[in-house]
Amino acid sequence: MDYSGKKTIEDIDVKGKKVLVRCDFNVPLSDGEIVDDKRIRESIPTIKYLSDNGAGVILCSHLGRPKDEESKKKCTLAPVAVRLSRLMGKEVKFTTDIIGDEAHAMAADLKPGEIMLIENVRFYKEETKNDPAFAKALASLADIFVNDAFGTAHRAHASTAGVADYLPAVCGYLIKKEITVMGGALANPKRPFVAILGGAKVSDKIGVITNLIDKVDTLIVGGAMAYTFNAARGWRIGDSKFEPDKVELAKEILAKAQAKGLKFLLPVDNVAADKFDVNANIKVFEHGIDDGWMGLDIGPKTQKIFADAVADAGTVIWNGPMGVSEMPPFAHGTIAVAKAIAESNSVSIIGGGDSAAAVEQLGFADKMTHISTGGGASLEFLEGLELPGIACLDDK
């Protein structure tokens, strides 16, 4: 999908206008305290631009999956307002209301440059149903809609897409960055173009693989889904996790890649364990894996092959770990790939989720060109699917 022609906040006059901004403030909390404020910090350039240019800024977001009154207490955006006020160096007003009188009164009183945050939009079940009446009520708070929540751009919810039916709609800096960097890499990559896909299931990434086969020069597959492909190659995979019903599909993909002359790299050795446990017995198997053992990471030879493929890449896109990276004995493959990308001179794009977490954790974040803020959204973008939260925005 080409979204390069979408209007941004710089394409409209916001002075003296009330602007509703959909942010992604879905931050991790522990006992009401924010554990990681990266998503809040990512939203600041857009909020600052609007505030500095004389808009009354009305922020909205979801947080968690509130289902009842008890879970709502844990999913309040109140801590976000406090943290954002501190980061912005100015007060961010907060209302526990969303579309009621209090929210409307606060929005109406908002002076140019002032900022307010309404409560978690998912406190209304109408949000995720993209209910038109709820979307219209949200839109009535403002004159302009800005979507800057890439992490939820693949959802057609009231606050991500529905409000665009009632207001002029543009994207903020965060979404603009995502569609410029990722869209540019897919449309016109610096070559060789290498894609690295990991994670558990072929079924989760099948659309991405199919879309990328026509675009990349090298496709690397690790993680548990590599065992489905190795089973398709007739290799023994022991007790490794795989998808038996996807073996035929994996064969078709391998044949298609071969017909296209695509370099399709799969693990040649694996770190396996006799049980799924951090203290399990560990053994490295080359080619096949014996019964009674499950593959939980790529082996040292594979790490080198994958790293060599990345070394001279022009563009690298990575989504998904190479093994059970949350367990230290099986994190070496993921670390090796992250290190190889960090040391390459490529345009490096990390597609959110576990890959982004690994890169941050290992201290390689500043070595990457772009770390996507959306796991599911970046996957669907790489798959070439329409993202409702971006498709709904006005064209230039």
Decide which of 248 and 382 is more confident.
248
Q: What is the pLDDT of residues 371-390, one digit of tens each?
A: 988 878 888 888 889 999 99
Respond yes or no: is residue 339 known to be catalytic.
no
Respond yes or no: is residue 201 known to be catalytic.
yes
Confidence of residue 354 (pLDDT cuts 50, 70, 90): confident
The catalytic position among 201, 251, 339, 367 is 201
* Predicted local distance difference test score (pLDDT) of residue 2: 87
The catalytic position among 54, 314, 376, 384 is 376
The catalytic position among 39, 205, 215, 246 is 39
Which residues share a beta bridge with 6? Answer: 395
CATH of 181-383, one of 3.40.50.1260, 3.40.50.12780, 3.30.460.90, 3.40.50.720: 3.40.50.1260
Identity of residue 301? K
* Predicted local distance difference test score (pLDDT) of residue 37: 92
Q: Please, where in the chain does CATH 3.40.50.1260 lie?
A: 9-174, 181-383
Mean pLDDT (the chain) is 94
Confidence of residue 1 (pLDDT cuts 50, 70, 90): confident
- Decide if pLDDT at 218 tops 80: yes
* Predicted local distance difference test score (pLDDT) of residue 353: 75
Point out the least confidently predicted range of 1-5, 133-137, 219-223: 1-5
Confidence of residue 206 (pLDDT cuts 50, 70, 90): confident
The catalytic position among 198, 238, 353, 375 is 353
Q: What is the pLDDT of residues 82-102, one digit of tens each?
A: 999 999 999 999 999 999 999
pTM: 0.88
CATH of 9-174, one of 3.30.530.20, 3.40.50.1260, 3.40.50.720, 3.80.10.10: 3.40.50.1260
